[in-house]
Amino acid sequence: MSKKLLAGPYLIWMAGFTIIPLALIVFYGLTDGDGGFTLANILAIATPEHRKALFLALGLSLLSTVICLLLAYPLALILRRRNIGRGSFVVFIFILPMWMNFLLRTLAWQTLLERSGVINGILTALHLPNQSLINTPGAIILGMVYNFLPFMVLPIYNVLCKIDDNTINAAQDLGANFFQTLTRIWFPLSLPGVISGITMVFVPALTTFVISNLLGGSKILLIGNVIEQEFTRGSNWNLGSGLSLVLMFFILISMALIAKYDKNGEGTAF
């Protein structure tokens, strides 16, 4: 009985600093400045500028998620087959970059992508035409893929490592070629990791305002930028909360997906 009391501090903490704060967003989002009930803050998503920011964020984050998945899956397969060191080494490689500040790493891409930057320098040296890379949607996608790729690789890798070699051998003994093994064995068995990876990339990509700020210039506004400005500059907290509720709708969808496909918590990243 006394053991359960140990959860006390945690439950009080979570109630005070997770549940109540989220309830406050709902409260602010559904009220106007005087505290009266209104749906205007949520419906504000339909105004052209907000709608544009939401659709752009959805498009860029979906594209980044797909690119991350396409890059990460073969990577996880190779890492599993190589059995490099132990699991901790792979985690080490992907966690290590986080020790250099996230903003500085993203800023470094500015240096690499700029008109007079490193990549254009290499292109010039090769007598190829310069490209305008910075301040484009493409640069934002690159930033998203760069920052969130580890969150796709690690859960997939962890799930792949749990698949028994014998299952794969059995499939091959029965005459399955590489493609058949991939689509009928590897992929279905690794689905919890894939789903968890997708949500771990999609949610931060959808809601980012830093990457679009640093790599997209000031002209490209994502929904995250709009919300951030409402809270730091515009200080219309009700509108900001209302737009956050719209975002939370998409986050809830991804949480529901995880609950459906990853019941045992297999696809965790760490």
Partner 1 sequence: MKTLKTRIKYIAENFYLVLTLIFLYAPIMTMMVLSFNQSKSRTQWGGFTLDWYLEMFSRSTIMDALRNTLVIAFLSALIAAIIGTAASIAINSMKPMPKTIIMGITNIPMLNADIVTGISLMLAFIAFGISLGFKTILIAHITFNIPYVILSVMPKLKQTSRSTYEAALDLGASPLYAFFKVVFPDILPGVLSGFLLAFTMSLDDFIITHFTRGAGINTLSTLIYSEVRRGINPSMYALSTIIFLAVLILLIITNFAPHARKEEK
Q: How many CB atoms lie within 10 A of CB 72?
A: 26
Task: Give the residue, chosen from 69, 182, 254, 261, that forms a contact with partner 1 under the rule CB under 8 A.
Answer: 254
190 or 239: whose CB is closer to partner 1? 239
Entry field: residues in the chain = 270
> By CB under 8 A, what part of segment 145-164 binds partner 1?
146, 149-150
From the list 50-58, 157-165, 182-190, 237-245, the region that binds partner 1 by CB under 8 A is 237-245
Residue pair 99/92 in contact by the 8 Å Cβ criterion = no
Site for partner 1 in 36-95 (CB under 8 A): 71, 74-75, 78-79, 81-82, 88-89, 92-95
Pick the stretch among 49-57, 164-172, 183-191, 252-260 that binds partner 1 (CB under 8 A): 252-260
DSSP letter (8 states) at residue 127:
T
Encoded tokens for 52: 């544009």
Is-contact 41 25, C-beta < 8 A?
A: no
Task: Say whether residue 247 binds partner 1 (CB under 8 A).
Answer: yes
- Map residues 168-207 to x or -, x wherever contact with partner 1 holds by CB under 8 A: -------------------------------xx--xx-xx
Residues 204-233 that bind partner 1 (CB under 8 A): 204, 206-210, 213-214, 224, 227-228, 231
CA–CA separation, 257 and 260 (whole Å)? 5
Distances (CA, A) of 102 to 113, 117, 148, 155: 17, 20, 11, 21
User: Do residues 227 and 209 make contact, with C-beta atoms less than 8 angstroms apart?
Assistant: yes
| Shortest Cβ 117–partner 1 spacing (Å) | 6
Residues 99-118 that bind partner 1 (CB under 8 A): 99-112, 114, 116-118
Helix/strand/coil for 136: coil
Q: How far is the CB of 67 from partner 1 (least distance, A)?
A: 12
Residue 197, burial from CB neighbour count under 10 angstroms (0-12, 13-18, 19+): buried
User: Would you state the structure tokens that stand for residue 180, as one six-digit string?
Assistant: 């058949």
Q: Which stretch in 36-44, 162-170, 185-193, 240-248 sits in contact with partner 1 by CB under 8 A? A: 240-248
Q: Cβ 178 to partner 1, closest distance in Å? A: 10
